[in-house]
A and B are shown apart, each in its own frame.
Chain A
Amino acid sequence: MTMATRIRTSTTTTIIIPDMSAPSSKLSNLNTDDQQKTLFLLQIANSSFPTGAFNHSYGFETWFSDGTISDGASFEVACRDWLIYCLGRSEGIAAARACEMARLADEDGLLTLDARIGALKLSREAREASAMTGQALLTAYLDVFEKPGMEGYARAVNSGEVAGHHSVVFGAICGSFDISATDTVLTFAQAAVSSLAGVASRLIPLGQVETQRIITNAWPLLQETAQRAVEADIDDMNVATPHLDVASMKHEKLKTRLCIS
Chain B
Amino acid sequence: MIHTNIYPDPQWVVGKQALMNVRAHLSGGKTIIQPSAWRIPFQWQGYHYQDHDDQPFMLMLNSGGGFVEGDGSYFFGNVEDGARALFTTTASSKFYKCLNGLESTEVVEFNVGENALLEFLPDEAIPFEASRSKRSIRINLQLSSRMFATDIVSAGRVHYGREIFKFHALRSSFEILLEGKSLALDKVIVKTPQEVQDLDRLWNGARHSALVFAYAPDLTKEAEDLVRMMAGKTEGVEIGVSRIGDLLTARILAYETWQVHEAIFGCWSALRPAIAGKPARPICKC
Contact = CB atoms under 8 A, between A and B. Distances in A.
Interface in B177-207: 181-190, 195, 198-199, 201-204, 206
Interface residues of B, number: 33
Nearest to A112: B182
Contacts of A165: none
A123 B242 contact: yes
Contact of B242 (A85, A89, A124): A124
Given A246-B251, A249-B251, A123 B202 contact: no
Interface in B210-247: 211, 228, 238-244
Interface in A211-261: 236-250, 252-253
Interface residues on A, range: 20 to 34
B251 A242 contact: yes
Nearest to A120: B185
Contact of A242 (B183, B185, B209): B209
B253 interface: yes
A116 B240 contact: no
Contact of A243 (B182, B238, B249): B238
B198 A116 contact: no
Contacts of B253: 242-243, 246
A228 to B, nearest CB: 12
B239 A115 contact: no
Contact of A240 (B195, B204, B206, B243): B195
A123 B187 contact: no
Contacts of A249: 240-242, 249, 251
B114 interface: no
B175 A250 contact: no
Contacts of A237: 187
Contacts of B239: 246
Q: Taking each of B182, B209, B242, B251, which has the highest tally of chain A beta carbons within 10 Å of its own beta carbon? A: B242
B189 A127 contact: no
A244 B249 CA distance: 14
The 8 A-B residue pairs whose C-beta atoms are closest, nearest first, are A249-B240, A246-B240, A119-B182, A119-B185, A243-B204, A238-B187, A249-B242, A123-B242
27 contacts: A81-B201, A81-B202, A85-B202, A115-B181, A119-B184, A120-B187, A122-B184, A123-B242, A124-B244, A238-B188, A238-B189, A240-B202, A241-B202, A242-B202, A242-B251, A243-B202, A243-B203, A243-B204, A243-B206, A243-B253, A244-B202, A246-B238, A246-B239, A246-B251, A246-B253, A249-B251, A253-B228
Interface of B: 173, 175, 181-190, 195, 198-199, 201-204, 206, 209, 211, 228, 238-244, 249, 251, 253
